[in-house]
Structure 1
Amino acid sequence: MQLPRDAVLLRIFIGEDDRFDGRPLHEAIVLKAREMHLGGATVLRGAVGFGHSSRLHTSKILRLSEDLPIVIEIVDAPDRIDAFLPVLDGMMGGGLITKEKVQVLQYGPGPTER
């Protein structure tokens, strides 16, 4: 698969405790993106953050299960990201979704070892 140079970065902000169909929402989103053959997805777990409620979520040792922030990033062609948005809307009850134009400089495996 090849990505166009002018692509879109979809960034999804949710909580670690969010779920969809009995599984973690971030996992369900990544699996759906893979099923739809999007360019790739990465899940990042935040150490601290807050959202709409302004409630602070942190990974401090005394608060181990505090619904830490999760960010999912997906890059692909604009039309493929736009086709994914209604699917994503059906999976999410809350959170934040952003979309921005990016330039893909490299995609795929690195050079082979010699």
Structure 2
Amino acid sequence: MKATRLLVFVNGARCAPYRAQSITVVRIYLREGEHLLTKIMDFLHNEEKVSGVTVLQGIMGFGPDDEIRTSRLLDLSLDLPLIIEFYDLPERAERA
């Protein structure tokens, strides 16, 4: 899990007058074959109630096992890389 702190701007303006709001963005790396996506999404949505979540599906990737997984038709894998990215206030993101 990797966390990044950002300043929030809306339409080019800071969210609050004269002060910026810090948020933390967290990335969780996993594979479809691990079957954890639904559990993690339910946890972030129902239990932690984080501000926002995006799930990205990779078209190709490999991990520590050195096996290349791809979405190409000839080499079709049902175990593609996934990235779950969520954000919230730093103290809430660190708790999740």
- Same fold, TM-score > 0.5, yes or no: yes
Q: How many residues align?
A: 77
- Determine whether 1:11 maps to 2:11: no
| TM-fit CA distance, 1:66 | 4.0
Secondary structure (helix, strand or coil) at the match of 2:66 reads coil
Higher gyration radius (CA): 2
5+ unaligned residues in a row in structure 2: which ranges?
A: 1-14
Aligned to 1:82: 94
| TM-fit CA distance, 1:81 | 1.3
Secondary structure (helix, strand or coil) at the match of 1:64 reads coil
Quick one: which amino acid aligns to residue 26 of structure 1? L
Q: RCO higher in 1 or 2 (8 Å CA, sep ≥ 6)? A: 1
Higher percent of residues as strand: 2
- The whole-number CA distance in structure 2 between the counterparts of 1:7 and 1:70 is 22
- Determine whether 1:31 maps to 2:42: yes
Deviations 1:47-71 (A, max 9, x none): 0011112211111102223410000
Instruction: Report if the CA contact (8 A) 2:69-2:77 is conserved.
Output: no
Deviations 1:70-113 (A, max 9, x none): 000001111111111xxxxxxxxxxxxxxxxxxxxxxxxxxxxx
- Determine whether 1:65 maps to 2:81: no
> What's the TM-score, normalizing by structure 1?
0.61
Quick one: which amino acid aligns to residue 43 of structure 2? K
Moved beyond 3 Å, runs of 4+? none
- The whole-number CA distance in structure 1 between the counterparts of 2:31 and 2:60 is 11
Secondary structure (helix, strand or coil) at the match of 1:17 reads helix
